[in-house]
Amino acid sequence: MSVVDQINRFARRVPSWALYILYLLPVPYLLYLAQTGGLGREPIKALEHELGEIALQLLIISLTITPLRRYLGLNLLKFRRAFGLLAFIYVTLHLLVWLVLDVGIPSQIWADIVKRPYITIGMGAFVLLLPLAVTSNNYAVRRLGAGWRKLHRLAYVVVILGGVHYIMLTKTWALEPMVYMAVILGLLLLRLPKARSKQAA
Amino acid sequence: MAYRWTNRLSRADVTPEALFMNRRQVMAAAVAGVGLAGIGARATADEALEPNAWEDITQYNNFYEFGTGKGDPVAYADALTTDPWTVTIDGMVDTPGDYSFRDIMAEMTIEERIYRLRCVEAWSMVVPWNGFELADLLAMAGVKPDARYVRFETLYRPEEMRGQKYRTIEWPYVEGLRLDEALHPLTIMATGIYGKTIPNQNGAPMRLVVPWKYGFKSIKSIVRITLTDQEPLNTWQQILPNEYGFYANVNPTVDHPRWSQATERKIGGGLFSKRVPTLMFNGYEEDVASLYEGMDLRKFY
């Protein structure tokens, strides 16, 4: 039995709720670190950045499911919803830390959303994620039919906005956000019709 | 010529050691879930002027020579050799040359200056520096009458400063001041913090402190000081001229293009630390506003 088959067999046995538990564990751990000095002398920004980075990673993971199946035969489709929803949860937590702990001043929050392009972009990504989170249940999938797939292509826009948001907030051209962006663009390129037809031929 | 400026923050503003220890117990208790009872008791009107803990000052640093993370300097700055140390003073001075740090220290009067430090990233601290006035060092070399600016350079030594192995910024780091800013009695060269030798991550053995300007102007680990008649091109202005200028005076009414400068967060307040309003010239308006009379501070940011 090949490695791929073994992973597929293992994946069939793992319930997707296990993923929620596993991926939500960092939240209490980060809060504990923030309270005990484990996130450094300024825990607010550190917590905000950690949550944002995990959110971006989860969005990226949700984009790998389809290419992994198409190109390697790995079937992790049953986990895609969990990764998407977890990404939404982390984006929400990231936003809450920014709203409540970081800025905390209502007038400045609105001014920042309107005036600061990287915050506008981040907010845009969050707003676009809302309909995706709301329709991430079986009922909505049935109800929307073909429209559901179309709607959920918004995830491509969201992940690009997330990557741009990360690049824009660093003071210099840092390596990490660039690596994220490269991975995002790579995963999206795999979805272009040309790349797909090449694979078919 | 020392003691030209009288500190409005006094020893009384430094957290007494007992209180400082007590605060840790309060924090530990809060973490353990015992309660936050003790905190209200020590909140006073001038809490904003209370110097930060040694750990805040020495573990949360921007010093890209050791990496771009706030914790990188404390983690990696140990590798830096600061003795022997030579500072080249050249350009429009009477006696240009290489000055050893020991010789400089022998000539200077060290005093304590408790200053606010406001980073351009909208966080702040209060630091009890030890050091001498830059004016005294410049007088040692003798400034020629035509000099109008001072240019400073940080050490470039990638084998000891691991951040310099990557071109995150152009090395060496360069900063500059107008001569009148450099000669202002508030402007010091810091060589210590809390009465101890300045740690490497804070810019050992000698770093500039210009308290009314954003922190990046206060260049660290200086090896060269040049008197010139040309406005120096400082590193951040060179990288992002629309975001960072030559003057970089703390100014709550002129925002950074990507974030507001109206408020700041004092480091060390933990997870629930609130932002506080930023003061014009970082609270030193009375002392320095006259330097910029008639200048459009929006244009000369």
Domain assignment present for B34: no
Work out the minimum CA distance from B136 to partner chain A, whole angstroms: 34
Q: pLDDT, tens digit, for every residue of B241-291?
A: 999 999 999 999 999 988 999 999 999 999 999 999 999 999 999 999 999
What pLDDT is attached to residue A194? Answer: 67
Q: How far apart are CA A85 and CA B286, in angstroms?
A: 54
By the CB < 8 Å criterion, does B256 face chain A?
A: no
Q: Is the pLDDT of residue B44 over 70?
A: no
**Residues A166, A52 contacting (CB under 8 angstroms):** yes
* Least confident stretch, A20-29, B36-45, B108-117: B36-45
Contacts of B36 in chain A (CB under 8 A): none
Sheet strand arrangement including B222-228: B97-100, B86-91, B222-228, B149-154, B174-178
For residue B220, give every residue at least 6 positions away whose Cβ sits within 8 Å of its Cβ, in sequence order, or none: B63, B65, B154, B173, B202, B203, B207, B208
ipTM score: 0.82
Mean pLDDT score, A56-78 = 94
Among residues B130, B113, B267, the alpha carbon closest in space to that of B198 is found at B130
What pLDDT is attached to residue A171? Answer: 74
Domain assignment present for B121: yes
Percent pLDDT > 70 in chain A is 96
What pLDDT is attached to residue B43? Answer: 36
Q: Which residue of B has its CA nearest to A31?
A: B271
Domain assignment present for B21: no
What pLDDT is attached to residue A195? Answer: 64
Mean pLDDT score, A3-16 = 92
Look at chain B and report how many structural domains it folds into. 1
Domain assignment present for B19: no
Among residues B61, B55, B58, B59, the alpha carbon closest in space to that of B24 is found at B55
Q: Is the pLDDT of residue B30 over 90?
A: no
Q: Is the pLDDT of residue B128 over 60?
A: yes
The single-letter DSSP state of residue B153 is: E
What pLDDT is attached to residue A187? Answer: 96
B267·A42 Cβ contact <8 A: yes
* Least confident stretch, A52-56, A167-171, B61-65: A167-171
Q: Is the pLDDT of residue B297 over 70?
A: yes
Identity of the residue in B30, B60, B168 whose CB atom sits nearest the CB atom of A40: B60
Q: Is the pLDDT of residue B139 over 90?
A: yes
B168·A112 Cβ contact <8 A: no
Q: Is the pLDDT of residue A85 over 60?
A: yes
DSSP string, B241-294: TTT--S--B--TTS-BTTB--SEEEETTSGGGPPEEEPPGGGGTHHHHGGGGTT
Q: Is the pLDDT of residue B18 over 70?
A: no
Q: Which residue of B has its CA nearest to A117?
A: B258
Domain assignment present for B134: yes
What pLDDT is attached to residue A175? Answer: 87
What pLDDT is attached to residue B254? Answer: 96
**Average pLDDT in chain B:** 89
By the CB < 8 Å criterion, does B300 face chain A?
A: no
B123·A112 Cβ contact <8 A: no
Indicate which of B263, B271, B275, B278 best probes the interface with A, i.e. most A CBs within 10 Å of its own CB.
B271
Mean pLDDT score, B166-188 = 96
pLDDT band at B50 (very low <50, low <70, confident <90, very high): confident
Domain assignment present for B174: yes
B239·A172 Cβ contact <8 A: yes
Q: pLDDT, tens digit, for every residue of A89-117?
A: 999 999 999 999 999 888 889 989 998 99
Q: Which residue of A has its CA nearest to B266?
A: A42
Biggest CA pair distance of chain A = 61
Residue B157 sits in a domain whose CATH number is 3.90.420.10
Domain assignment present for B30: no
What pLDDT is attached to residue A132? Answer: 97
A35·B31 Cβ contact <8 A: yes
Domain assignment present for B12: no
Q: pLDDT, tens digit, for every residue of B197-249?
A: 999 999 999 999 999 999 999 999 999 999 999 999 999 999 999 999 999 99
Work out the minimum CA distance from A132 to partner chain B, whole angstroms: 29
DSSP string, A169-201: HSSS--HHHHHHHHHHHHHHHTTSHHHHHHHH-
What pLDDT is attached to residue B21? Answer: 53
